[in-house]
């Protein structure tokens, strides 16, 4: 589709005799929030892993901004403009908030020995820039955290850690952000607040497209423009949240209807 940022064509992924994705077709429209729905084991995270180059495809194509990125390395996918978070926290707990966020922009950082030893002014300028970018991002989520960016993340609550992980993904200014169950491990109230944060980010950052995996259906109803439902690696339904939630096959596969 002409206005699609990401085009998935007949995407397949097998692990031995197990089919994790099968003939998946999906167009992700620019500047929208797509919800990826499905029971455990339906292929949602596998889809993220294939798109971001963690797993090679078995078949099919991944096209981003009109250019094929099928089986690109994670580094090349990142440089193309795709960033992600993971279901399980990947923060380095002894490091500071700023350190963890800065890691998301590693390709832009000069870290060679010569640069660090002999280009001290450039190093100081780079440090100031990354500090301001980190502070600016975290302020959108929580202004109090922005005043604590030199504190280690180990003592922070889960919602703060999730916010930092999203900021780490955003600091490279991606065009596509993949969020894998960002509310995992949080209370209902914390989840509600985090979704407010994500919607605020979407309003503030131009040209940002988001794909989100979530099991909390109230989250999907509130945050998504469009949804796709997977079951046993296949897309069984696509449409607005109301359309997929009322689909009989979706109800049988996911919503608990006999």
Q: How confident is the model at residue 182 (pLDDT cuts 50, 70, 90)?
A: very high
Residue 86 in any domain: the answer is no
> In this predicted structure, what is the pLDDT of residue 160?
93
Please state, in angstroms and as integers, the Cα–Cα distance from residue 103 to each residue in 38, 82, 97, 193, 195, following that order: 31, 15, 10, 25, 24
Residues 142 and 183 placed together within one structural domain of the fold: no
Residue 36 in any domain: the answer is yes
Residue 37 in any domain: the answer is yes
What's the mean pLDDT in 47-69? Answer: 97
Residue-wise pLDDT for 171-181, tens only, equals: 999 999 999 99
Least confident piece of the model among 56-70, 97-111, 134-148, 181-195: 97-111
Residue 17 in any domain: the answer is yes
Residues 184 and 67 placed together within one structural domain of the fold: yes
CB neighbours of residue 252 within 10 Å? 13
Cβ–Cβ < 8 Å for 60, 9 = yes
Q: How confident is the model at residue 10 (pLDDT cuts 50, 70, 90)?
A: very high
pTM of the predicted model as reported, rounded to 2 decimal places: 0.90
CB neighbours of residue 56 within 10 Å? 11
Which domain-ending residue is among 141, 173, 205? 173
What's the mean pLDDT in 66-80? Answer: 95
> In this predicted structure, what is the pLDDT of residue 129?
79
CATH number, domain with residue 211? 3.40.50.300
Residues 199 and 254 placed together within one structural domain of the fold: yes
Residue 191 in any domain: the answer is yes
Residues 136 and 257 placed together within one structural domain of the fold: no
Residues 12 and 71 placed together within one structural domain of the fold: yes
Cβ–Cβ < 8 Å for 58, 20 = no
Residue 87 in any domain: the answer is no
Which domain-ending residue is among 112, 139, 173? 173
Which domain-ending residue is among 173, 189, 214? 173
31 pLDDT exceeds 50?
A: yes
Domain count, the chain: 2
Tell me 142's DSSP state.
-
Residues 169 and 180 placed together within one structural domain of the fold: no
CB neighbours of residue 68 within 10 Å? 12
Residues 156 and 182 placed together within one structural domain of the fold: no
> In this predicted structure, what is the pLDDT of residue 118?
47
Order of all β-strands in the sheet with 59-64: 18-29, 4-15, 59-64, 67-68
Q: Which domain holds residue 98?
A: 93-173
> Could you tell me which residues are beta bridge partners of residue 9?
61
Residues 255 and 213 placed together within one structural domain of the fold: yes
Q: How confident is the model at residue 116 (pLDDT cuts 50, 70, 90)?
A: low
> In this predicted structure, what is the pLDDT of residue 107?
56
Cβ–Cβ < 8 Å for 210, 177 = yes
What is the C-alpha end-to-end distance of the chain, expressed in Å? 36
Residue 88 in any domain: the answer is no
Q: How confident is the model at residue 254 (pLDDT cuts 50, 70, 90)?
A: low
Residues 40 and 150 placed together within one structural domain of the fold: no
Residue 160 in any domain: the answer is yes
210 pLDDT exceeds 90?
A: yes
Residues 3 and 77 placed together within one structural domain of the fold: yes
Query: In whole angstroms, what is the distance from residue 47 CA to residue 182 CA?
Result: 16
Residues 6 and 77 placed together within one structural domain of the fold: yes
Residues 125 and 156 placed together within one structural domain of the fold: yes
121 pLDDT exceeds 70?
A: no
Query: In whole angstroms, what is the distance from residue 247 CA to residue 243 CA?
Result: 6
Cβ–Cβ < 8 Å for 7, 199 = no
């Amino acid at each position: 589709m002409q206005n699609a940022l990401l085009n998935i064509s007949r995407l397949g992924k097998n692990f031995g005799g197990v089919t994790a994705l099968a003939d998946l077709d999906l167009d992700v429209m620019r500047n929208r929030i797509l919800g990826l729905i499905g029971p455990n084991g339906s292929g949602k995270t596998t889809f993220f892993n294939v798109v971001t180059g963690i797993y090679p495809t078995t078949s099919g194509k991944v096209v981003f901004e009109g250019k094929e990125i099928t089986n690109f390395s994670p580094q090349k996918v990142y440089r193309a403009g795709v960033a992600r978070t993971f279901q399980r926290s990947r923060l380095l707990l002894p490091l500071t908030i700023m350190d963890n966020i800065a890691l998301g922009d590693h390709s832009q950082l000069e870290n060679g020995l010569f640069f660090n030893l002999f280009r001290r002014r450039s190093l100081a300028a780079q440090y100031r820039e990354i500090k301001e970018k980190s502070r600016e991002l975290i302020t959108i989520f929580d202004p109090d955290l922005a005043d604590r960016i030199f504190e280690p993340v180990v003592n922070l609550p889960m919602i703060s850690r999730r916010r930092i992980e999203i900021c780490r993904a955003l600091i490279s200014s991606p065009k596509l952000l993949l969020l894998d169950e960002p509310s995992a491990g949080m209370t209902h109230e914390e989840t509600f607040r985090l979704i407010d944060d994500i919607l605020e980010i979407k309003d503030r950052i131009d040209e940002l497209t988001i794909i989100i995996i979530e099991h909390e259906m109230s989250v999907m109803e509130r945050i998504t423009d469009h949804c796709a439902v997977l079951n046993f690696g296949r897309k069984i339904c696509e449409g607005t949240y109301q359309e997929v939630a009322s689909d009989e096959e979706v109800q049988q596969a996911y919503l608990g209807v006999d």
